[in-house]
Amino acid sequence: MSLSYRQPGIVLTDRRFVVPLDHDDPDGETIELYAREVVAGDRADAELPWLLYLQGGPGFGANRFVGKQAWLGRALQDHRVLLLDQRGTGASTPANRQTLPLRGGPREQADYLTHFRADSIVRDCEAIRPRVTGGAPWTVLGQSFGGFCTVNYLSTAPEGLSAAVITGGLPSLDAHADDVYRAAYPRIERKVAAHYARYPQDVERARRIAEHLLQHEPVLSGGHRLTVEAFQSLGILLGSGDGSHRLHYLLEDAFVRTPGGLALSDAFQEQVQALLSYAGHPLYALVHEAIYGQDDRPTAWSAERMRAEFPQFDAAKALAGDGPVLFTGESVHPWMFDTDPALRPLRETAQLLAERTDWTPLYDTARLAANEVPAAAAIYHDDMYVDTAHALRTARSIRGLRTWVTNEFEHDGVRVGGPRVLDRLLALIRDEA
């Protein structure tokens, strides 16, 4: 039985669905999906077209908005919205260190997690669509990894779509993970340089913190080992609109004077732990590189291997000279499964996924070249998380896709831009812009 309730200006309804774990085995094991239906309060009884939102990640549940926040208010002008917690996330059947041992050992866990990529998510969407829309196609809004899922949707089930809207999420159709991360590190370095140009005092602050960590390597209150590499990974903040400012405020009060000398403050350590912990989204770490797996080559901890090609990211070498300590970005590394207590029990599972060589293709280039679904994409120029050149090449491969290339926003433009980003893209798919 569905439960409906109200927030300012909207009516929400909890929806739950049972779908096969493996859609090629429809009579086999099942999992549960959770989604939140949202409609404007003054249109709750109206017949409206549906818009499905696919969150970025992988591994994050859909946004928990309050009222008509961010893009939601614009969507509700025309649509009834379904905020889907993709399989394994949010209130859907969870996949984490507590639940995965129910599968068995690491091998069984890794086999289970092969069903948590874009292709399975899209088949989930097609399984629930008749139950939501009565069979009518819907508009899909895909943010970041949700955009990857949307391109898979266009490749495999375009008949389910009335329109496709993508924000910061046009994937390369054929790049190996190595190509993705080899392109990423120079982009990350530019973001770090821009941060230090804005806040030059942070160069010395970051060096002092990194030097302290190389000497002490504290264990945070939740059991997280704060290595210098973990500290550098805070650079993931630099891919969001306010991330540079947030990083600056984090660094400015890192130390406190104690009877034993300078130490990292409790306040700094608590903030860092909240930023670094994967407890709330372990799938991000487990399947992040797997979203690029499409052939018989293993991903093999690609981000870690590609980092070795860019020695300027070695903090110890930077400290031995006078160069800045560079932060890193959206990447997953094997040492995270040692430093983070939420990931430690899953280290062998992650290793087996990194070694896997039987990934199936995610995109059908011939079908995309013949696309007839109205589609539009926002491409954020020099997006730290998604390579602009890769995105533009994919845009040219999808027939009829209209693009809006802008440097007004970072990767989270659809969130921080309020209704403007979605409004522009909806105008594009309707030939109104």
Q: How far apart are CA 422 and CA 383, in angstroms?
A: 18
Q: Return the CATH architecture of domain 3-174+363-429.
A: 3-Layer(aba) Sandwich (3.40)
Q: Where are the beta strands (DSSP E) in 208-341?
A: 255-258, 261-264
pTM for the model stands at 0.97
Q: Is the pLDDT of residue 379 over 90?
A: yes
Give the SS3 label for residue 104.
Answer: coil
Give the SS3 label for residue 6.
Answer: strand
Give residues with Cβ within 8 angstroms of 320, minimum separation 6: none
**Amino acid type, 173:** L
Active-site residue among 144, 233, 302, 397? 144
CA 332 to chain centre: 12
CA neighbours within 13 Å on the CB side: how many for 1? 1
pLDDT at 144: 97
Query: 79 an active-site residue?
Result: no
Query: 25 an active-site residue?
Result: no
Query: 2 an active-site residue?
Result: no
pLDDT at 2: 77
Q: How far apart are CA 354 and CA 290, in angstroms?
A: 7
Q: How confident is the model at residue 82 (pLDDT cuts 50, 70, 90)?
A: very high
88-138 pLDDT per residue, tens: 999 999 999 999 999 999 999 999 999 999 999 999 999 999 999 999 999
- Which two tokens mark 56? 């970025």
280-312 pLDDT per residue, tens: 999 999 999 999 999 889 999 999 999 999 999
- Which two tokens mark 272? 């860092």
Mean pLDDT of the chain: 96
Residue given tokens 């005092």 in the structure block:
201
Q: Where in the chain is the domain with CATH 3.40.50.1820?
A: 3-174+363-429
Active-site residue among 115, 195, 281, 411? 411
193-223 pLDDT per residue, tens: 999 999 999 999 999 999 999 999 899 999 9
Is the omega angle on the peptide bond into residue 58 within 30 degrees of 0, that is, cis?
yes
Q: How confident is the model at residue 433 (pLDDT cuts 50, 70, 90)?
A: confident
pLDDT at 313: 98
Percent of the chain with pLDDT over 90: 96
Mean of pLDDT values over 16-25: 98
Q: Strands 30-40, 10-20: parallel, antiparallel or unpaired by DSSP? A: antiparallel
Mean of pLDDT values over 42-58: 96
Residue given tokens 């040492």 in the structure block:
335
Q: Is the pLDDT of residue 1 over 70?
A: no
Q: Is the pLDDT of residue 225 over 90?
A: yes
317-339 pLDDT per residue, tens: 999 999 999 999 899 999 999 99
Contact 209, 229 (CB under 8 A): no
Give the SS3 label for residue 51.
Answer: strand
Percent of the chain with pLDDT over 70: 100
Mean of pLDDT values over 171-185: 97
Q: Considering only 8-12, 102-106, 226-230, 294-298, which range has the smallest mean pLDDT? A: 294-298
pLDDT at 295: 84
Give residues with Cβ within 8 angstroms of 167, minimum separation 6: 141, 142, 143, 144, 147, 377, 378, 413, 414, 421, 422, 425
Q: Is the pLDDT of residue 3 over 90?
A: no
Q: How far apart are CA 351 and CA 291, in angstroms?
A: 15
